[in-house]
Chain A
Amino acid sequence: NAGVTQTPKFQVLKTGQSMTLQCAQDMNHNSMYWYRQDPGMGLRLIYYSASEGTTDKGEVPNGYNVSRLNKREFSLRLESAAPSQTSVYFCASSDFRGNQPQHFGDGTRLSIL
């Protein structure tokens, strides 16, 4: 029972480098989400995918792109990393958007120098 799996767990990048964060869920959920969590800011939604084949912007989408590869996988890409993107990134999934609980992975800790 893996739930939501995120890779990598840790990463250090230099400013301007690109990186893709991977997320996979094995709960047959329709909706998937990417959040970032910063001290004093709480969880902020970057992008979400309500169902396979759709993606939409959340609260803080600038500097990120996403791909819903299939029902299980949802990736987050930083095309040109900036120090302001240093954060802990969480992927989550749920049956449907909105009224269903979201289940989270254990995060990717990303530092950009």
Chain B
Amino acid sequence: QKEVEQDPGPLSVPEGAIVSLNCTYSNSAFQYFMWYRQYSRKGPELLMYTYSSGNKEDGRFTAQVDKSSKYISLFIRDSQPSDSATYLCAASSGYALNFGKGTSLLVTP
């Protein structure tokens, strides 16, 4: 069983909706958390990087980490068709990066 679990979706939402993407992890030593976005036939692109618990906001994107429940979230406000992609979460204890399998998101006009 992977140390980082992620629902593969697909998740389909209308344009303008708030999107919530989630991961759970099992290793309590994880302290570094990342979200990547991957467009079709492209490499993963770093979206958000957070350390320990709490929230981080960047434009329409908010990353949230709850270490007590081992839960990682990414919220996308005012979603756009250009947000349609696969989103991968990742976590690290400072030794190796552990990826979830990715959630496929489709934002329909």
Residues of A within 8 A of B (CB): 4, 40-43, 45, 90, 92, 97-99, 101-107, 109
Could you tell me the distance between the alpha carbons of A7 and B104 in the complex, rounded to whole angstroms? Answer: 27
Q: How far is the CB of A81 from chain B (nearest CB, A)?
A: 22
Please name all residues of chain B whose beta carbon is closer than 8 Å to the beta carbon of A103 when the two chains form the complex: 46
Q: Which secondary structure dominates chain B's binding surface?
A: loop
Contacting pair B88 A107 (CB below 8 A): no
Query: A40 and B8: CB pair below 8 A?
Result: yes
B101 touching A40 by the CB < 8 A rule? Answer: yes
Complexed CA–CA distance, A45 and B97 (Å): 9
The answer to whether B99 and A98 have CB atoms under 8 Å apart is: no
**Minimum Cβ distance to chain A for residue B9 (Å):** 12
**Which residues on the A side are within 8 Å of B34 (C-beta)?**
101
A-B CB pair tally, cutoff 8 Å: 48
CB distance from A9 to the nearest CB of B (A): 9
Contact of A104 among B41, B45, B101 (CB under 8 A): B45
In the complex the two chains form, is B92's CB within 8 Å of A106's CB?
no
Give the interface size class of chain B: 20 to 34
Choose one: A40, A101, A104; the contact of B43 (CB below 8 Å): A104
Find chain B residues with CB under 8 A from A43 CB: 44, 88, 99
Complex interface: chain A residues within 8 A of B44 (CB): 43, 90, 104
- B26 at the A interface (CB under 8 A): no
* Contact present for B49 and A101 (CB under 8 Å): yes
Q: Which of B44, B45, B49 has the most CB of A within 10 A?
A: B44
CB atoms of A4 and B96 under 8 A apart: no
Whose C-beta in chain B lies nearest to the C-beta of A59?
B96
Considering the complex, give the chain B residue whose CB is closest to the CB of A41.
B101
Which chain A residues lie closer than 8 Å to B8 at the CB level?
Answer: 40
Q: Return the chain A residue nearest B46 by Cβ.
A: A101
* A-B contacts, 22 listed (Cβ < 8 Å): A4-B43, A42-B88, A43-B99, A92-B43, A97-B95, A98-B32, A98-B92, A98-B94, A98-B95, A99-B31, A101-B34, A101-B46, A101-B49, A102-B46, A102-B97, A104-B36, A104-B43, A106-B41, A106-B43, A107-B42, A107-B43, A109-B41
